[in-house]
Amino acid sequence: MNNEIIEKKSWWNRNWKWFLPLITFTSISVVLFFSSGMGGHMTDFVQAYSDTELYENALEKAQQNKKVTDLLGELEPINKLAILEGEVRYSDDHKSVDSSIRVKGSKRKASIDISADRINGKWNYRKINIRIKKPIEEKQTIEIINQSE
């Protein structure tokens, strides 16, 4: 029987070969992400994701338009995935927004374009358009609100 003491290597000595490249890759990825401007886009999406009032009110105004209901049918509530798939740009410290997201009606799909300003905690819409792209022969834009500045 052998009674030699087995010296156990430290955690760093056992794992540095995978840990060091992982930390390096993660650090470079984080720096590239924030220096590319994507960090600003992510905050816009987070803000849009949490600001449901903006989309609910715009959808309600669109639903009141007879041409929209004739072409699209009853509009479904906007789901969170539609916001993430869309395009959102906030400016003026999140007091102005330009957004384009998909909407789904009982007859077909379209996109809704929204431009709005937050004044005293309420959204004041400058523009709400419904854009129908498909089928191509019925491609059109329906203006719901258009207040030129």
Residues spanned by the domain of 96 = 38-146
Rounded mean pLDDT of 116-128? Answer: 91
CB-based contacts of 113, cutoff 8 Å, min separation 6: 98, 99, 100, 127, 128, 129, 130, 131
**pLDDT at residue 5, rounded to an integer:** 76
The verdict on residue 75 lying in a domain is yes
**CATH number, domain with residue 83:** 3.10.450
Q: What is the pTM of this model?
A: 0.69
Q: How many domains does the chain have?
A: 1
The verdict on residue 130 lying in a domain is yes
The verdict on residue 31 lying in a domain is no
Q: Cα separation of 67 and 61, whole Å?
A: 12
pLDDT band at 44 (very low <50, low <70, confident <90, very high): low
The verdict on residue 1 lying in a domain is no
User: Is residue 74 helix, strand or coil?
Assistant: coil
**pLDDT at residue 38, rounded to an integer:** 60
Tell me the DSSP string of 33-50: HHHTTHHHHHHHHHHHHH
**pLDDT at residue 130, rounded to an integer:** 93
pLDDT in tens, 82-94: 887 888 888 888 7
The verdict on residue 33 lying in a domain is no
Q: Cα separation of 45 and 32, whole Å?
A: 19
Task: Give every strand in the sheet of 122-132, ordered side by side.
Answer: 87-91, 96-104, 109-119, 122-132, 140-146
Question: Alpha carbon of 36 to those of 2, 27, 41, 79: distances in Å?
Answer: 60, 14, 10, 28
The verdict on residue 82 lying in a domain is yes
Q: Cα separation of 62 and 128, whole Å?
A: 8
User: Is residue 65 helix, strand or coil?
Assistant: coil
